[in-house]
Amino acid sequence: MLRSCAAPLRSLGALRGPRGGACPPLCEPRPALRSFSSEKVIYKDFSIPNPSWSKDLRLLFDQFMKKCEDGSWKCLPLYKHGSLQRIQDFKTFFHDPKFTKEDVMTQTRLFTSSFEEGLGFEHAMFYNDVEKRTVCLFQGGLYLEGMPGFLHGGAIATMIDSTLGMSALIAGGIVMTANLNINFKRPIPLCSVVVINSQVDKVEGRKIFVSGNVQSADEKTLHSEATGLFIQLDPDKSLT
């Protein structure tokens, strides 16, 4: 399936920078608020702290930003809208013009950035090139409820797909999810902070096998484990 690409694609745009934009290099010290304008589309980085972030999320974010200082980790910017570069990339693969009309594209929102501040997927992602590891810090808001007081399984699956897909995207360029297999072990309370870890396990031709898990911020609770199979669409566009 070609849709796991929400975060991956958003980040692909981020890594390359919006066309005409001035996307800063990864791992650059980050200002309190940052946005980029490319033609009519405003690019705002949604992975920077905002008032809805809990103390736990801010603390973890600061710890990872500290790790970025020596270049071992990189912070991945996240955008609400796709970049025009992203749209152009997909036009290469999808020739039906109704899927890539730019006037429609500017009305859409990437699923993981589609809620108002604090209500949905508050998150930030970091990448370690040596370990080939992607980490997502995630605080799920009050609009992501499943059973009373806990995150919906679909919300967890969404962030797992996005994080594992990011690992695959960094390894293989534009990718699509072919399989996602999740074992849910412990429920995640609404508004709590969890850490999603993922790494590429192996690459066989165009198949990228990724695995990961979801842990509480204190690493004491294993909430979920997952594997993902991603298909590389264009091997020439690997980002590593």
Count residues near its own copies (CB under 8 A). Answer: 66
**Residue window 61-80: x/- pattern of binding to its own copies, with contact defined by CB under 8 A:** --------------------
Q: Is 178 in the site for its own copies (CB under 8 A)?
A: yes
For its own copies, the closer CB: 129 or 225: 225
State yes or no: is 56 an active-site residue.
Answer: no
Q: Which of 17, 18, 77, 165 binds its own copies (CB under 8 A)?
A: 165
Q: Residue 47, class by beta-carbon neighbours within 10 Å (0-12 exposed, 13-18 middle, 19+ buried)?
A: buried
Task: Kindly state the DSSP code that residue 52 receives in the 8-state scheme.
Answer: T
Whether the Cβ atoms of residue 158 and residue 112 lie closer than 8 Å to each other: yes
Q: Is 117 in the site for its own copies (CB under 8 A)?
A: no
Parallel/antiparallel/unpaired status of strands 207-216 and 193-204: antiparallel
Identify the CA nearest to 196 among candidates 30, 83, 79, 64.
Answer: 64
Q: Is 112 in the site for its own copies (CB under 8 A)?
A: yes
Q: Which of 17, 21, 82, 212 binds its own copies (CB under 8 A)?
A: 82
Among the residue ranges 23-31, 51-59, 70-78, 142-150, the one whose residues contact its own copies (CB under 8 A): 142-150
Among the residue ranges 4-12, 47-55, 63-71, 128-136, the one whose residues contact its own copies (CB under 8 A): 4-12
Q: Is 187 in the site for its own copies (CB under 8 A)?
A: yes
Q: How far is the CB of 50 from its own copies (least distance, A)?
A: 18
Whether the Cβ atoms of residue 198 and residue 134 lie closer than 8 Å to each other: yes
**Whole-angstrom distance, CA of residue 160 vs CA of residue 236:** 26
Question: What spatial distance separates the first Cα and last Cα of the chain, rounded to whole Å?
Answer: 23
Residue 61 has which token pair?
């974010």
10 Å Cβ neighbour count for 2?
Answer: 15
Q: Is 135 in the site for its own copies (CB under 8 A)?
A: no
Whether the Cβ atoms of residue 219 and residue 183 lie closer than 8 Å to each other: no
The DSSP bridge partners found for residue 216 are: 194
Q: How far is the CB of 87 from its own copies (least distance, A)?
A: 5
Q: How far is the CB of 21 from its own copies (least distance, A)?
A: 17
Q: Is 153 in the site for its own copies (CB under 8 A)?
A: yes
Q: Which amino acid type is present at position 64?
A: F
10 Å Cβ neighbour count for 130?
Answer: 8
Among the residue ranges 40-48, 67-75, 150-158, 195-203, the one whose residues contact its own copies (CB under 8 A): 150-158
Catalytic residue IDs: 161
Instruction: Please give the residue ranges that form the binding site for its own copies (CB under 8 A).
Output: 1-6, 9, 82, 86-87, 90, 94, 98-100, 104-105, 107-112, 114-115, 119-120, 142-162, 165, 176-190, 223-224
